[in-house]
Copies of this chain bind each other. A is one copy, B any other.
Amino acid sequence: MTAKEDKKKIDDEILKKFKDSAEEIIETIEKKQNPKIKIPLRGLTNVYFDEKDKMIKLGDKQQTRTFFNIGQARKFMQTFLIASALKELIESGKTTSIRDVYYRTKHTIANTTESTFEDQIESDPIIEDIEVGFDALREELHLFASTRGAVVGEITIVDSGDTIDLRKMGSGGWAVPSIVEPEVVQFKDCTAEFILFIEKDAVWRRFNEDKFWRKHKCIIAHGQGVPPRGVRRLIRRLSDELNLPVYVLVDADPYGLYIYSVIKQGSINLAYESMRMAIPKARFIGLSVFDYAKYKLPKDVTIKLAEIDKKRISEILKYPWFQKKDWQAELKEMLRLGFKLELEALSAKNVSFITEKYLPDKLAKKEWLE
């Protein structure tokens, strides 16, 4: 199938789900019964770690939203209002932001002073309800999220019909869009052997300037902190479809571990999307607190753990996905040393130590955690 046919197929599937659901509601109304929809619960009580698939998933608890119920009537109305705006959007072939959907659907209800939505805080969860209720990725609903991050490396991609050679993207790189589904982005001519995700923009620039990706045949990506949906989904697709290993390079601190964790197991908030966003085979390649002694880093580059850091590490120690012996050792060593380390700490050796010595060493010796 061409990208265009792919797109049409997904659009048609979602439109059909919307139509089926609406028709069911109309039938119920015609039978003079109370219209209702079922939506999986998204709260913490319905989230679990799937030991087999190694990712955070949503359970099968559901809530029922009925129209004739004072506590639910407003949300019921909002659900169909947004579904209707999304239907229009999908039919127009356009994409937009969740903020835009809020503005599209916000209006005063005829003959009242009541607004359909008071704030975007009301409309966003309804969009998530629709995602999970209709089993559709946000991107498949034609909605984009904010973007951050860039990619360069040993691959050519096609984005919305434009062929882009990521080996020739200069110092800037290709800005990763929010929607990178197969109907928008396709892969061509990959000569990369792995993917390196880097937490920080500034460190990514070091890797790009030193042309690490050319020397080591890889693709380098960053997402300025916790990577946005587009970057996560792109790496997941690259890793799945081209069978490439994924290495994650983050600061040696609780935030860095959280970023690694989100990439690998998915997040609790987006548990219903782990199936298409999480990358269980991702590997943690650094920074490890054991690197402090191994590379004889000076004491000056260490940053004392704050109380909140210690608390976070104690929590992380208990997470089911950090129970392996090596992980427990890593976390306990961080507590014992009492400090954290940033990737930039390696620059105390020299500016390109990280690209010329640190990472090549780690890869050669297979020094990573999983």
Inter-chain contacts of A162 with B (CB < 8 A): 168-170
> A305 to B308, alpha carbons, bound, how many Å?
36
Tallying the copies of this chain within the complex gives 2
* A216 vs B146: C-alpha distance when bound (angstroms): 25
Tell me the bound Cα distance from A285 to B298 in angstroms. 53
Point out the residue from B103, B164, B175 that lies within 8 Å of A168, measured CB to CB.
B164
Cα-based distance from A148 to B202 in the complex (angstroms): 12
Residues from chain B with Cβ under 8 Å of A206 in the complex: 96, 100
Whether the pair A174, B171 counts as a contact (CB closer than 8 A) is no
Instruction: Output the nearest chain B residue to A297 by Cβ-Cβ distance.
Output: B103
Interface string of A156-175 (1 = CB under 8 A from B): 01111111100011111111
Contact status A202-B347, CB under 8 Å: no
Expressed in whole angstroms, the minimum distance between the Cβ of A339 and any Cβ of chain B is 14
Decide if B99 touches A202 in the complex (CB within 8 Å): yes
Residues in chain B near residue A300, CB distance under 8 A: 106-108, 115
Q: Any chain B CB within 8 A of the CB of A94?
A: yes
Give chain B nearest CB distance to A219 CB in angstroms: 14
A198 close to chain B: CB less than 8 A:
no
Q: Bound state CA distance, A310 and B146, in angstroms?
A: 29
Which of A9-17, A23-31, A176-184 is the interface stretch? Answer: A176-184
Which listed residue, B99, B106, B160, touches A171 by the CB 8 Å rule? B160
Contact A100 B344 (CB under 8 A): yes
Residues of B contacting A158 with CB < 8 Å? Answer: 170
A169: B residues at CB distance < 8 A: 159, 162, 164, 174
Q: Which chain B positions have C-beta within 8 A of A173?
A: 174-175, 177
8 A Cβ contacts from A230-261 to B: none
- B-chain residues with CB within 8 Å of residue A175 when the two chains form the complex: 149-150, 172-175
A294 an interface residue at 8 Å Cβ cutoff?
no
- A-B residue pairs in contact (CB < 8 Å), sample of 20: A94-B351, A99-B202, A100-B202, A100-B347, A103-B344, A103-B348, A104-B348, A104-B351, A106-B301, A146-B224, A147-B150, A147-B172, A147-B201, A149-B175, A157-B170, A161-B170, A164-B168, A170-B185, A172-B175, A174-B174
10 tightest Cβ-Cβ pairs between the two chains A and B: A159-B170, A97-B202, A150-B175, A175-B175, A172-B177, A162-B168, A171-B177, A162-B170, A172-B175, A160-B170
Beyond the given A89-B351, A103-B345, A159-B172, could you list 16 further A-B residue pairs with CB under 8 A, ordered by the A residue number?
Answer: A94-B210, A99-B344, A100-B202, A103-B301, A103-B348, A104-B351, A107-B298, A115-B300, A159-B171, A160-B171, A161-B170, A162-B168, A164-B170, A169-B174, A170-B174, A172-B176
